[in-house]
Structure 1
Amino acid sequence: MSGRTDNSGAAIRAEAARTLARVVFDGVSLRVAFDARASRSADPRDRALLAATLFASARWWLRFDAVLGRMLERGLPDKARDIHGLLVLGFVQIEVMRMPDYAVVAACVDAARLLGQPRHAGLVNAVLRRFLRERASLLAEADLDEVSRHAHPRWLIDRIRNDWPRDADSILEENNREALLTLRVNRRRCTRDALLERLQQAGMTAHAPLHLADAITLEESTDVSRLPGFAEGHFSVQDGAAQQVADLLDLKDGQRVLDACAAPGGKTAHALERANVEMTALDSDAGRLPRLRENLLRLGLEATVVHADASRSDDWWDGRPFDRILLDAPCSATGIIRRQPDIKLHRRAADIAPLAAIQARLGTALWPMLAPGGKLLYATCSLLRAENEATVARLLDACSDARALPIQDRHGRAAGAGRQNFPGHKGMDGFYYALLEKTR
């Protein structure tokens, strides 16, 4: 992928097939795998096609893998997993991305040879051409099963239907829509109007949503590092639902603030952009802290960055209480599937109970660090009640000096002591918020 040639379409598909196989079969993060592959390409058109193909293929894998299973009498051997990925992405390019049918077939056949599996080129040709002939009936058959119809795993469909029966179909539908790219303006270095003007002058279709004070949405995904103002720290990428965290924290100059699970630092930075606070940004994953520091440096912000487990206060806390604590807890991430579709492939039902236990442990450990009259904001990017309102209910039961504060309707649907934003609501991701005050 170092440049464009007459066979660049086949080369990109071969690269996409290899990467997709790693994501599906090895459990590698889609974003990590894409970044590793895309860094080899100097051509933005190649990067854009690779990204669009990979994210669409991960989003719809459970649908088109089922279609492939119905077309093959025997499954593909393990050593042909790149061909497996190539066939699924071929279906996706034809049916979802609406690319020219026979151009996709020809490029995928050539890609099979580039993958070092020329004996499978005939199979790729035959399967894709059969899909073109029979896709109406193949897709109708796929629609008979909820898993392949919605391209979600069975356990997640069941959990969403159980937790949100009236909204389940719309949630599943929104999860399969590509989310708009949302920027957060760094108000310490730029105004929203000024950045809007620069983006529009650069040919970008950009809007300023009324419900978010610092946000700009772009109609098309792009390499943000190439946008005007990025190097100068004028903006960051952050979904609107995450941007609402700073609103709910109600920050004032001089406050001591803890971001207890801070990496990669988006919410830490937004808080510092909003007020002159004494910020401690803490995370238990040392590998994610360099990126947090890089983000703060680019934006011209300062925080005390700490590597520690937030629940082990003896290892890092100096005993001085915090006025605000943000617990953006580790979670299933089921509210951001629009942006990270591989969550549908990697997350398991068995993950939820351990995550809920971690969330409860963090909440009860952090509560004593909050000053009287201080506020703790519990937030997740999950849609599941077990991780959200159930966790907050346990925290309220455990802490007699805690009370839940009301949150405005614009932050989503009432859910226990907090509010649940659904994916797609006002263009934002799925997010949960609960604001607790220490009464004494």
Structure 2
Amino acid sequence: MTDRPGHRRAPARARDGGHRRPAPLAPDSLAMSLSLAGQLVAAVVEGKALTEQLAHSRRRHTAPDINWGAVQDLTYGTLRDYGRGDAVLGQFLQKPLPAALHGVLLVAFHRLEQRHDQAHTIVDQAVSAAASLAPGLKGVVNGVLRNILRRFDALVTRLDATPETRLRHPDWWIRRLRASYPDDWEAILAAGNQHPPMALRVNRRRLTPEAGLARLAEAGIAARLLDNGALCLERACPVDQIPGFFTGDFSVQDAGAQWAARWLAPRDGERILDACAAPGGKTAHLLELADVDLTALELDPARATRIEENLERLGLSARIEVADCADLERWWDGRPFDRILADVPCSASGVVRRHPDIKWLRRNTDIPRFAAQQASLLDALWRTLAPGGTMLYVTCSVFDEENRSQIARFCARHADAIRMAIDNQIERIVLPGADHDGFYYALLQKHR
């Protein structure tokens, strides 16, 4: 990978520690959590998606005592701290280490920054993790970490003097946000480094938001009612603790995403398309608000199955099609839609705290490619919209090229596109904050 401070890609002959037998780790130990997290971080650095790698790791390591919560916290925290560990390790490693061992060092440095008062334990457990992966190199890991500790304050001071490592985002990412949001760019970056909030959506066919809030209070779950009816939990909890979740009274959905159905404003009897619909949260929300004839499109068959599962839990139904929404001949019957939700693929820069691997995997050159794909999808979907119908354009991006500039270019191409106000504003930019992730919304009407 490139454009990360201090990064060295390990060549094929990186040291592997010889052929000593790896030392076993106690499943519930910090060493095991460091080892598994290090392997996950290494996989992301090599270009693999975190969600898939985490699922693979859980299938591979089945010991019941593994603390997967700790593994996930360490992995996500290390990835949120984009580039800091790499910048430090680059000063101490003269030769490349095996990828998993490099990952353990990255995780250990993250842990040292978070809990410096536990430095002795962290170093000891990181060395044990190294011994389980490459026994011959545990001395290298021990030496690197102890050298880091000796110079710790100076290293952190140096990291905090560089924008990329202080703000924990790639330099190109910082430049884009600074240009688009001169007053808010630092707050956006800070939000991207935080733990994400957990919000619930109330099934309006069964409960009001106020009744849902009372149900949660009875179960000892503290929450706040937000302006759009979302319930933001004071502390995240497993869904099996949420009363009525499995019977369809509640769904987990970010509060910022819950504006979509409200701003599309479905009405009974309308024909509606939810393009790029997986995992189905917005599909379900639309069906909870009105009795509509809804088609949900999804390109990935596995993700389409998730739409079906979510609707079944909620007692809802829709026509689910597995197809590329731009390939109209494959799925469209020629009957126009009254409303379209165009929640298009994007950089996901507005939800980076939920998917911190994005900061490692995205490149500046990816953004124009996303924008071109979005333009193609919008042009195709516009053909399926009835005259007088409305289309809500949605991204979970905070980059202008995918949002405001995208809609400006679309309107320039389509003379029959009319910008509609959303709650008295021509567009809605929902910046990431304490209660929600980042989203962009624009409402378009096709001239009759």
Query: In the TM superposition, what whole-angstrom CA distance separates every residue of 1:225-281 from its partner, at most 9, and x where no partner exists?
Result: 554433222222211111100110111111111011111111111111111111100
The CA deviation at 1:332 is 0.7
Deviates more, 1:384-393 or 1:43-52: 43-52
The CA deviation at 1:99 is 7.0
Partner of residue 224 from structure 2, selected from 189, 208, 213: 208
Q: Normalization by structure 2: what TM-score? A: 0.88
* C-alpha contact (below 8 Å) 2:224/2:234 kept by paired residues: no
* C-alpha contact (below 8 Å) 1:41/1:47 kept by paired residues: no
Which residue is equivalent to 1:403? Answer: 418
Query: In the TM superposition, what whole-angstrom CA distance separates every residue of 1:340-394 from its partner, at most 9, and x where no partner exists?
Result: 1111011111111121111111112111221222110001011111111121112
* C-alpha contact (below 8 Å) 2:224/2:233 kept by paired residues: no
Partner of residue 423 from structure 1, selected from 432, 435, 443: 432
Q: Normalization by structure 1: what TM-score? A: 0.90
Amino acid at match of 1:356: A
Answering whether residue 136 of structure 2 is matched by residue 119 of structure 1, we say: yes
Report the identity percentage: 43
User: What is the alpha-carbon distance in structure 2 between the residues aligned to residue 126 and residue 432 of structure 1?
Assistant: 48
Answering whether residue 443 of structure 2 is matched by residue 438 of structure 1, we say: no
5+ residue gaps, structure 1: none
Deviates more, 1:394-403 or 1:92-101: 92-101
User: What is the alpha-carbon distance in structure 2 between the residues aligned to residue 228 and residue 8 of structure 1?
Assistant: 33
Query: In the TM superposition, what whole-angstrom CA distance separates every residue of 1:49-102 from its partner, at most 9, and x where no partner exists?
Result: 111111101111311211221233x1423xx11111111111111213567222
5+ residue gaps, structure 2: 1-24
User: What is the alpha-carbon distance in structure 1 between the residues aligned to residue 403 and residue 27 of structure 2?
Assistant: 52
SS at match of 2:31: helix
The CA deviation at 1:403 is 0.8
| Residues 41-120 of structure 1 mapped to structure 2, 5 A cutoff | 46-72=67-93, 74-77=94-97, 80-96=98-114, 100-115=118-133, 117-120=134-137
Which residue is equivalent to 2:15? Answer: none
Which residue is equivalent to 1:173? Answer: 190
SS at match of 1:180: coil
Which residue is equivalent to 1:299? Answer: 314
Deviates more, 1:262-271 or 1:183-192: 183-192
Change (3 A) 1:94 1:199: farther
* C-alpha contact (below 8 Å) 1:69/1:75 kept by paired residues: no
Amino acid at match of 1:433: Y
User: What is the alpha-carbon distance in structure 1 between the residues aligned to residue 110 and residue 156 of structure 2?
Assistant: 12
Partner of residue 139 from structure 1, selected from 156, 162, 165: 156
SS at match of 1:382: coil
Which residue is equivalent to 1:382? Answer: 397
SS at match of 2:248: coil
SS at match of 1:386: helix
SS at match of 1:373: strand
Which residue is equivalent to 1:358? Answer: 373
The CA deviation at 1:302 is 0.4
* C-alpha contact (below 8 Å) 1:63/1:150 kept by paired residues: no
Amino acid at match of 1:24: V
* C-alpha contact (below 8 Å) 1:105/1:125 kept by paired residues: yes
Change (3 A) 1:103 1:260: same
SS at match of 1:208: strand
Amino acid at match of 1:81: A
Which residue is equivalent to 1:337? Answer: 352
Partner of residue 260 from structure 1, selected from 246, 251, 275: 275
